[in-house]
Amino acid sequence: METMGADMERRVFAVGTILAGLGVVLGAFGAHALKTRMSPELLGTFETGVRYQMYHGLGMLALAWAIDRWPERRLAPAAVLLIVGTLVFSGSLYLLVLTGARWFGAITPFGGVALIAGWGYAAWKILVNSDGTGGGQ
């Protein structure tokens, strides 16, 4: 019988691979389809979205490993924050570039905050014991 931790690990790993794979697709789209149609500034903004998506897709692979390694640390909220953060951060940059609606840039920092919170939560849960003391297993 599959445990909840193994199921969570598999799902987080799958999301990481999807984010990374889409990062490759979007990077190629930017390099080939947008390069001649966008200003260097907008192309740079699009590339930032791709870069952060790729970083966090790969980071999700590491988080999946941590979920398997330390199931008692309850790292699922970190995964949710990273997924939401990536979608909001990178997604708002893609929309800003593709639609020209500059107001999407005002949404981007919320994604950044979710990313920071996700990594901070993961570090905290790995470093602090359930009784609040430092250390870990």
Query: Is 135 part of a structural domain of the chain?
Result: no
pLDDT at 7 over 80: yes
Number of domains in the chain: 1
DSSP 75: -
Q: What is the pLDDT of residue 2?
A: 46
Confirm whether 89 is domain-assigned.
Answer: yes
In a domain, 80, yes or no: yes
In a domain, 57, yes or no: yes
Q: Please check whether residue 134 lies inside any domain of the structure.
A: no
Q: Round to whole Å and give the CA distance between 30 and 87.
A: 18
Residue pLDDT, tens place only, 93-110: 999 999 999 999 999 999
Q: Using one digit for the tens of pLDDT, what is the confidence trace for 38-76?
A: 999 999 999 999 999 999 999 999 999 999 998 888 999
Is residue 133 assigned to a domain? no
Whether 52 is in a domain gets the answer: yes
Rounded CA separation 76/46 (Å): 29
Answer whether 71's CB lies under 8 Å from 78's CB: no
Q: Which two tokens stand for residue 101?
A: 């609606």
Range of the domain at 18: 4-127
Residues 9-21: tens digit of each pLDDT? 999 999 999 999 9
Q: Is residue 137 part of a domain?
A: no
